[in-house]
């Protein structure tokens, strides 16, 4: 029992079998990207032929400008979930993201695991990131993504209190891993397979009602100027192929059936 008490004070005094079950439910609600146990989150787009490209952990002077140029070449709009401390270091780059027609979202001030943060610390992390974005761009973010995808029972409520909706994903291919670009390209193949299936099924009653949210990274929360060249190379491969497959690249606001940025 001591093991569960150390992990979660809610479980103190609960019989071991029930405690294990509750721990499993809690872990599912905290980690699984589609779990709604701790509050409603956005896990897919509202239209089947749309793809919401999202990038975490920036802005990153070593990669974000190259990524913006790549997105421009393919007329693709995206959502950037930025870390407050890096926005403070590169406010001009945060402004450039907006100027290119993309959306900025909140990814906390320092990128902690919020499952282990209390309500006050959680709110401070979100609020400080909002302040950094506001100081750099005069814009208030409407979208939030939790670091590592981990949520606590109070997180979504706190985000809503700051006028932000929480965004997860349908695919996170692991582009932070030190693997070759070819490995990452293969890991991103489910997006193409989904698009192909949509084309084959057409617009009939069996057509999927939702599209994908892809979680990639233009930065590294642990260090500035991180190397994310493999992400750029994988996108250089996939962006024209996804476009040819009939996908429309949208921001999170656009992904909800109509523009909902403000």
Grouped pLDDT means (10 residues each) for the chain, 262 residues: 31 39 44 76 94 98 98 98 98 98 98 97 98 98 97 96 97 96 97 85 61 98 96 98 96 79 46
pLDDT digits (tens, 9 = 90+) for 17-75: 433 443 344 454 456 676 687 789 999 999 999 999 999 999 999 999 999 999 999 99
The answer to whether 260 and 253 are in contact (CB under 8 A) is yes
Show the CA angle centred on residue 237, arms to residues 236 and 238, nearest 5°: 100
Alpha helices, H only, the chain:
2-7, 16-31, 64-73, 84-89, 91-99, 119-137, 155-161, 181-187, 189-201, 229-244
Residues 6+ apart with CB under 8 A from 90: 59, 60, 61, 64
> Can you give the residue ranges of every domain in the chain?
2-31, 50-256
- Tokens 């943060």 belong to which residue? 117
Active-site positions read 56, 217
pLDDT of residue 207: 55
Token pair 């990131």 in the structure block, residue:
129
Lookup: tokens for 199: 């084309």
Q: Give the Å distances, CA to CA, from 90 to 66, 84, 160, 163, 219.
A: 15, 10, 27, 24, 12
The domain covering 50-256 belongs, at the CATH homologous superfamily level, to Glycoside hydrolase/deacetylase (3.20.20.370)
Report pLDDT for 73: 98
């Amino acid at each position: 029992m001591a093991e569960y008490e150390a992990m979660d004070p809610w479980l103190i005094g609960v019989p071991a079998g029930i405690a294990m079950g509750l721990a499993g439910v809690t872990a599912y609600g905290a980690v699984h990207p589609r779990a709604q146990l701790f509050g409603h989150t956005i896990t897919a787009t509202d239209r089947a032929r749309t793809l919401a490209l999202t990038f975490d952990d920036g802005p990153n002077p070593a990669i974000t400008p190259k990524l913006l140029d790549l997105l421009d070449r393919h007329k693709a709009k995206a959502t950037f979930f930025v870390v407050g401390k890096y926005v403070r270091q590169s406010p001009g780059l945060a402004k450039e993201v907006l100027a290119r027609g993309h959306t900025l979202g909140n990814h906390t001030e320092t990128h902690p695991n919020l499952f282990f943060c209390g309500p006050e610390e959680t709110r401070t992390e979100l609020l400080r990131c909002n302040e950094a974005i506001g100081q750099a761009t005069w814009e208030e973010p409407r979208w939030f993504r939790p670091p590592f995808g981990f949520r606590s029972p109070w997180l979504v409520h706190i985000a809503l209190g700051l006028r932000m909706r929480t965004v997860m994903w349908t695919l996170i291919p692991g582009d932070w891993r030190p693997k070759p670009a070819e490995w990452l390209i293969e890991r991103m193949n489910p997006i193409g397979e989904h698009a192909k299936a949509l084309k084959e099924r057409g617009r009939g009653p069996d057509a999927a009602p939702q599209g994908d949210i892809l979680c990639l990274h233009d930065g590294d929360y642990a260090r500035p100027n991180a190397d994310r060249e493999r992400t750029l190379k994988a996108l250089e491969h996939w962006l024209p192929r996804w476009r040819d497959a009939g996908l429309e690249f949208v921001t999170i606001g656009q992904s909800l059936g109509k523009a909902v940025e403000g």
